[in-house]
Amino acid sequence: MFGSFIKKSRAKSPWIMHFDCGSCNGCDIEVLACLTPLYDVERFGIINVGNPKHADVLLVTGTVNHRNKKVLKNIYDQMPEPKAVIAIGACGNTGGVFRDAYNVVGGVDKVIPVDVYVPGCPAKPEAIIDGVVVGLGKFAQKVEEAE
Amino acid sequence: MDTLILVIIGLVAGPVIGGLVAGLDRRVTAWFQSRQGPPIMQAFYDVAKLLGKEKMVVNQWQILCAWVYLIAAAVSVALFFAQGDLLVIFFVQAVGAVFLVMGAMSAKSPYSQVGAQRELMQILAYEPVLILVFVGIYLVTGSFSISSVWELEQPLLAKMPLLYLALGYALTIKLRKSPFDFSTSHHGHQELVKGVLTEYSGPYLALVEIAHWYETVLVLGLCALFWSTNVFWMAALLIGTYALEILVDNTMARMTWRWMLKRVWLLGMGMSVVNLIWLYAG
Ligand code: SF4
């Protein structure tokens, strides 16, 4: 019984952590807009934490470049399982308009496994919330498979 | 036998009440910000989720410290429910508080270190106030035991109103609310990330959270003692105090530890001492 309560709780309290891999700030303000009273993601139990050790979901915005790919990997490794990664915006998905620049590695999935891609430039808050919900479904599935 | 039952009630009721209070708190805070806020049960979901996460620690000390913090908090609540001695309760909860700081100190992370220093300052600020409140209770009832408070004819609040105000400081610090939330920073993305809690993760963070619920119940229980003669007024006092606490939390910015020490020592202890002199002379 307690085990199933834990399982149910996972989807009810996703703590997100937001990492900016050199985005233009467009996607970041949309992520933060989700916390405002208009969208109020806290009603789904979502909290924006600043610490990978407390986070369940990693939201990554911006293109990954050779400088920050180590940081991204490091943050990802510090998150305890089960965890999910959501790439946000054209930049996070593929590298966006910056994909041909000499210092750019590409999308987030070049460095760490990504569960959900949220498109848009910038991604809309509604799409980001949607992405987190889909991500939770995925990570519930992952936990099930691991057991 | 009765004591044993009371102890068990305390151990079970502690986290249940504490979790509900935490959920309600977030709800009311959201209302202040014209948001809807999470469900009341949110605090339980959070802790259950944390319990199911991978066990990651920086070093073995943290495991011990999280457990000691939890056990000390639980024992102090159990003693409180079992009508124990106020001084024993005080020492047991102080042991827990110190272990939380030691756990944070054991990790090298600067956030955790700074958080631990600030937590020590907080302990330094509220412990004397708590002791003075207990001394006040002793002067009124002639004993440190809680059962003697229940035998009073007149509520404690009539005899020690200033000490109740001072206890309000201790409550704010213990709940880690603004303006005294600088050891954990209420929102996790501020300058300190999460202070003392930075290096705790997964199940160990859940233990610390449950311990925090116990402590909330303990301090609210101390507040309840101030109107022990009438259950209705006791509830009104508690609800009023906690509502004021949330209001202060939402309208204040975080202050520095120097500000806190000045405020709590000068005002809090000042009020306590005046009240004690009045009790002693009168
Ligand atoms: S996707 Fe668009 S808005 Fe988002 S970081 Fe890239 S350029 Fe900026």
Q: What is the pLDDT of residues B123-137, one digit of tens each?
A: 888 888 889 999 988
Residue B108 sits at the chain A interface (C-beta within 8 Å)? no
* pLDDT value of position A43: 87
- Find the closest chain B residue to A43 by CA distance: B38
Cβ neighbours of residue A88 under 8 Å, at least 6 residues apart? Answer: A27, A30, A31, A59, A60, A61, A118, A120, A123, A128, A131
pLDDT tens track for A81-121: 888 899 999 988 888 888 888 888 888 888 999 999 999 88
Range of the domain at B89: 1-281
pLDDT computed for residue A42 by the predictor: 86
Cα torsion B126, B127, B133, B138 to 10°: value is 180
Decide: B126 and B98 in contact? Cβ < 8 Å. no
Q: Answer yes or no: are the C-beta atoms of A40 and A81 closer than 8 Å.
A: no
Q: How confident is the model at residue A71 (pLDDT cuts 50, 70, 90)?
A: very high
Q: Where are the beta strands (DSSP E) in B57-180?
A: none
B110 contacts chain A (CB < 8 A): no
pLDDT digits (tens, 9 = 90+) for B151-193: 888 888 888 889 889 888 888 888 888 788 887 777 766 777 7
Q: What is residue B188's predicted lDDT score, i.e. its pLDDT? A: 63
Q: Is the pLDDT of residue A1 over 80?
A: no
Cα–Cα dist B193/B190, whole Å: 5
Q: Is the pLDDT of residue A2 over 80?
A: no
In a domain, A59, yes or no: yes
Rounded Cα gap, residues B46 and B207, in angstroms: 12
pTM of the full predicted structure?
A: 0.90
Q: Do A80 and B202 touch (CB under 8 A)?
A: yes
d(CA B185, CA B90): 25
Residue of A nearest to B200 (CA): A53
Q: Which tokens is A133 given?
A: 């919900």
Range of the domain at A47: 14-139
Provide the shortest C-alpha distance from residue B112 to chain A (in Å). Answer: 12
CATH number of the domain bearing residue A61 = 3.40.50.12280
Task: List the structure tokens of B154.
Answer: 């007149």
B186-219, pLDDT tens digit by residue? 776 677 778 888 888 889 999 999 999 999 999 8
**Does residue A146 sit within a domain?**
no
Phi and psi of A32, rounded to 5°? -70, -30
Structure tokens given for B97: 């508080």
Least confident of A5-14, A56-65, A90-99, B219-228: A5-14
> Residue A79: inside a domain, yes or no?
yes
Of A5, A11, A29, A3, give the one whose Cα is nearest residue A134: A11
Can you give the pLDDT at residue B49? 87
Map chain A to HEC letters: CHHHHHHHHHHHCCEEEEEECCCCCHHHHHHHHCCCCCCCHHHHCCEEECCHHHCCEEEEECCEECCCHHHHHHHHHHCCCCCEEEEEHHHHHHCHHHCCCCCEEECHHHCCCCCEEECCCCCCHHHHHHHHHHHHHHHHHHHHHHC
Neighbours of A147 (CB within 10 A): 7
Q: At residue A39, does pLDDT exceed 90? A: no
- Per CB-CB distance under 8 Å, the chain B contacts of A47 are 188
Using 50, 70 and 90 to split pLDDT, how confident is the model at A147?
A: low
Residues of chain B falling short of pLDDT 50: none
- Chain A: residue whose CA lies nearest to B191: A50
CB contact under 8 A, B194 and A82: no
* Reported ipTM: 0.87
CA distance to A1, B150, B276, per residue, from B282 (Å): 58, 22, 10
List the single residue in B33, B51, B188 with the smallest CB-CB distance to A49.
B188
For residue B261, the model assigns a pLDDT of 87
Report the number of distinct structural domains present in chain B: 1
Spatial CA neighbour of A88 closest among A70, A63, A69: A63
Q: What is the mean pLDDT of chain A?
A: 87
In 3D space, the residue among A107, A109, A93, A84 whose CA is nearest the CA of residue A16 turns out to be A84
Residues B242, B23: contact at Cβ < 8 Å?
Answer: no
What's the domain count of chain A? 1
H or E stretch including B106?
none
End-to-end CA distance of chain A: 16
Query: Distance (Å, rounded) from C-alpha A1 to C-alpha B153?
Result: 47
- Cα–Cα distance, A146 to A124 (Å, whole number): 33
**Is there a domain that residue A53 lies in?**
yes
Which amino acid appears at position B275 of this protein?
Answer: N
Residue A32 resides in a domain: yes
